[in-house]
Amino acid sequence: MDVSVDVRVASNDDLHLLSERLKTNIPNPEEGQVLVAVVGGQPVGTVTVSWAAADEPEVRDLFPGVPIMYRLRVDEPYRNVGIGTRLIRMAEHLLRQHGHKQVLIGADRDNVLARKLYLSLGYRAELTDLDGDNGLYDILVADI
Ligand SMILES: CC(C)(COP(=O)(O)OP(=O)(O)OC[C@H]1O[C@@H](n2cnc3c(N)ncnc32)[C@H](O)[C@@H]1OP(=O)(O)O)[C@@H](O)C(=O)NCCC(=O)NCCS
């Protein structure tokens, strides 16, 4: 696909356009940031990074203070051209600028495609078989 994709920290306008898919989960700016991939003025992908304490006690115990990425999504027609990778790399870059050395991401056990992508980008499963709303999931970590 030969389109120009802008990957950036979401502006207020971007957040407005994303509000339906993010619902109430936009983090307070002191606790996280939303990134967006934009094509022709329209968001086609997003990821949220949070450095607030993780919900799961086992994650907080094993990775105190380590930020987490969640709600990574690229719209179907735009998949497999590198946008997900760019969102992840941009999130890592931002976190490095904030002094972080690691980042976490949660992956549902049955999400084979996402898991394959994370492993290929250097993420490794460190906490496995956590019980989530959608079944079992793992927490993957990367050094950034
Ligand atoms: C998971 C998801 C975000 C990936 O987004 P994406 O934009 O397709 O990701 P990328 O294009 O960067 O990478 C996907 C694959 O395409 C490959 N790819 C990237 N650019 C490519 C190109 N120009 N040509 C061919 N292949 C390419 C990547 O190498 C990767 O392959 P791999 O997994 O075998 O390493 C997307 O599939 C999605 O939104 N899924 C539904 C929501 C979801 O599951 N989110 C994750 C929750 S944990």
Q: Is 115 in the pocket of ligand 1 (CB under 6 A)?
A: no
* Whole-number pLDDT of residue 26: 75
114 CA to centre of own chain: 11
Phi, psi of 36 (to 5 degrees): -140, 145
Distance (Å, whole) CA 10 – CA 18: 9
Q: Is 116 in the pocket of ligand 1 (CB under 6 A)?
A: yes
Q: Give CA angle at 102 (29, 126), nearest 5°.
A: 120
| Position 21 pLDDT exceeds 80 | no
Q: Compute the mean pLDDT over every residue in the chain, rounded to the nearest whole number.
A: 92
Q: Is 84 in the pocket of ligand 1 (CB under 6 A)?
A: yes
| Position 32 pLDDT exceeds 70 | yes
Of the candidates 12, 74, 2, the one whose C-alpha atom is nearest the C-alpha of residue 37 is 74
- Token look-up 């590198």 returns 82
Residue 114 burial (C-beta neighbours within 10 Å; 0-12, 13-18, 19+): middle
Determine which residue's CA is closest to atom 31 belonging to ligand 1: 117
Q: Which residues contact 55 (CB under 8 A, 6 or more apart)?
A: none
| Position 37 pLDDT exceeds 90 | yes
Residue ranges per domain, the chain? 6-143
The two three-digit tokens of residue 18, written as one number: 């994303």
Reported confidence tier of residue 24, pLDDT bands at 50, 70, 90 = low
Average pLDDT of the segment spanning 19-36: 79
pLDDT tens track for 97-139: 999 999 999 999 999 999 999 999 999 999 999 998 889 999 9
Q: What atom of ligand 1 comes closest to residue 120's alpha carbon?
A: 35
Distance (Å, whole) CA 114 – CA 84: 9
| Position 58 pLDDT exceeds 70 | yes
Neighbours of 36 (CB within 10 A): 24
| CATH code for the domain defined by 6-143 | 3.40.630.30
Determine which residue's CA is closest to atom 19 belonging to ligand 1: 82
Reported confidence tier of residue 25, pLDDT bands at 50, 70, 90 = low
